[in-house]
């Protein structure tokens, strides 16, 4: 069971997410870093555990603004470069192809950014492509075919429950079980609501491969000892 730290980027800084209300996100304040600088926060997270993967949500790109390309380049230039799972609002073949061509970048195709399933149809066999099924407070965000046609899904699927992000409300176990039942042998990654080690172990018992985590790492409810015991 892998724990994957989340870096939410806005205006070149890491911000603290809360329930998908992106207009309210502010630069993160964390005991793990003296600033909200993306590399400083990533290095701070690695004081807890030598995480090999980071999930990056480029909120500016997702909302149609200039992507945080410089911040991503700095992460890729770290002394021990992490694998980066990047959701940057990919909605056209040119940008998605460019991301797939970058070493150590695994582009995340978020359903909230899609008008149809054409990109998924075209790129689903790319081994580095990750699909994110995005659920907001008002339900699924994206074309219905992404839920109705699991045969289109790539090898890794994130179940993103934004209403639970930063809310300490626990993962959406029911939805995760539902998606897991449709996914066959694909890897399911939980996102949103993970509070502690018990949640991680429950997810593992359900066959979930990994969890995207932020708040419980910064707040100290997932400790270095627990991460080591989980072999995160």
Distance CA 118, CA 90 (A): 12
pLDDT at 226 over 80: yes
Give the pLDDT confidence score for residue 163 in this predicted structure. Answer: 72
- Reported as a single tens digit per residue, the pLDDT across 113-128 is 999 999 999 999 999 9
Average pLDDT estimate for 201-222? 95
The number of folded domains in the chain is: 1
Measured CA to CA, the distance from residue 23 to residue 105 in angstroms comes to 27
pLDDT at 24 over 70: no
Could you give the CA distance from residue 87 to residue 27 in angstroms, rounded to a whole number?
A: 19
**% of the chain surpassing 90 pLDDT:** 85
Structural domain of 90: 2-230
What pLDDT, in 10s, does the model give residues 176-210? 999 999 999 999 999 988 989 999 999 999 999 99
pLDDT class for 230, splitting at 50, 70, 90? confident
- Range 48-54 average pLDDT: 97
Q: Would you report the helix, strand and coil content of the chain in percent, each value rounded to 5?
A: 35, 25, 40
Q: What is the mean pLDDT of the chain?
A: 93
CATH code of the domain covering residue 101: 3.20.20.70
Q: What is the predicted pLDDT for the residue at 168?
A: 66
* CB distance 170 to 191 below 8 Å: no
CA distance 88 to 93: 13
């Amino acid at each position: 069971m892998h724990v994957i730290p989340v870096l939410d980027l806005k205006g070149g800084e890491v911000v603290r997410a809360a329930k998908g209300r992106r207009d309210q996100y502010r630069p993160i304040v964390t005991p793990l870093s003296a600033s909200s600088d993306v590399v400083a926060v990533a290095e701070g997270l690695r004081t807890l555990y030598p995480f090999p993967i980071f999930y990056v949500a480029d909120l500016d790109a997702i909302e149609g603004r200039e992507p945080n390309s410089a911040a991503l380049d700095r992460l890729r230039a770290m002394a021990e470069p992490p694998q980066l799972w990047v959701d940057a609002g990919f909605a056209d073949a040119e940008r998605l192809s460019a991301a797939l061509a970058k070493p150590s970048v695994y582009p995340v195709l978020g359903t909230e950014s899609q008008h149809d399933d054409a990109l998924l149809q075209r790129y689903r066999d790319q081994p580095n492509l990750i699909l994110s099924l995005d659920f907001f407070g008002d339900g699924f965000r994206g074309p219905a075919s992404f839920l109705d046609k699991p045969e289109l899904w790539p090898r890794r699927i994130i179940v993103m429950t934004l209403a639970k992000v930063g809310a300490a409300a626990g993962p959406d176990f029911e939805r995760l079980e539902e998606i897991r039942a449709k996914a066959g042998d694909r890897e399911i990654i939980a996102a949103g609501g993970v509070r502690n080690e018990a949640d991680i172990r429950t997810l593992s018992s359900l066959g979930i491969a990994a969890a995207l985590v932020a708040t419980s790492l910064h707040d100290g409810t997932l400790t270095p000892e627990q991460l080591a015991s989980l072999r995160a």
